Structure 1
Amino acid sequence: MTVLIDNPMWPAHGTIWGHLVSDESLEELHSFAESAGLPPRSFDLDHYDVPVDRYDELVAAGAVPVSYRDLVVRLRASGLRVRGRDRGQRKGRSAH
């Protein structure tokens, strides 16, 4: 049971963004995000988008820092990864 976070490096909307995922289940991911006060709108099919100013707080709450590559590899291995071509098949929050 691990919630992973990558180093924020994606610029958008006036800040830099990273990703928060679970390598176990969406239930675990949603539970962690809810306890950390992340808004439901920041969930995008298989991950939460998180702004750089929340990174240290999420790590302190238990998210394990990994590289973007490691995050994707572990998300794929978990079976939870939603790729671009799969986006139409899974919409909104699930398992919450």
Structure 2
Amino acid sequence: MAVLVDAPMWPAHGRMWAHLVSDASLDELHAFAAANGLPTRGFDRDHYDVPADRIDDLVAAGAEQVTAGELTRRLIASGLRVKGRDRH
């Protein structure tokens, strides 16, 4: 069981953004996000969007920094991945 964060590769709102996921449960993800002050508006069905300037803090709090590919593989393997076509 782990909370994972990838590299910030997605530009939006004048910042670069990364993804924060759990490879175990959404409860674990939401608890980690809340404990680290991430707003609920950052949640998008299976991940939180997090700005680049928060990554070091999240890693210090226990998130495992992984590549985007590794994050995606582990999210799919967890069964928590929401496919693009299922996002409304």
Which of the five TM-score ranges fits, normalised by the shorter chain? over 0.9
Residue 41 (structure 2) pairs with residue 30 (structure 1): no
CA distance in 1, matches of 2:8, 2:36: 17
What residue in structure 1 maps to residue 86 of structure 2?
A: 86
> 5 Å matches for 1:1-96?
1-88=1-88
Paired residue type of 1:52: A
How far did 1:87 drift?
1.7
CA distance in 1, matches of 2:36, 2:11: 22
How far did 1:85 drift?
1.1
Corresponding pairs, count: 88
CA distance in 1, matches of 2:46, 2:19: 10
CA distance in 2, matches of 1:10, 1:87: 18
CA distance in 1, matches of 2:41, 2:87: 16
| TM-score normalised by the chain length of structure 1 | 0.90
How far did 1:64 drift?
0.0
SS in 1 for 2:58: helix
SS in 2 for 1:77: helix
| RMSD of Structure 2 on Structure 1 (CA) | 0.6
What residue in structure 2 maps to residue 94 of structure 1?
A: none
Contiguous gaps of at least 5 residues in structure 2: none
> Percent identity among equivalent residues?
67
Contiguous gaps of at least 5 residues in structure 1: 89-96
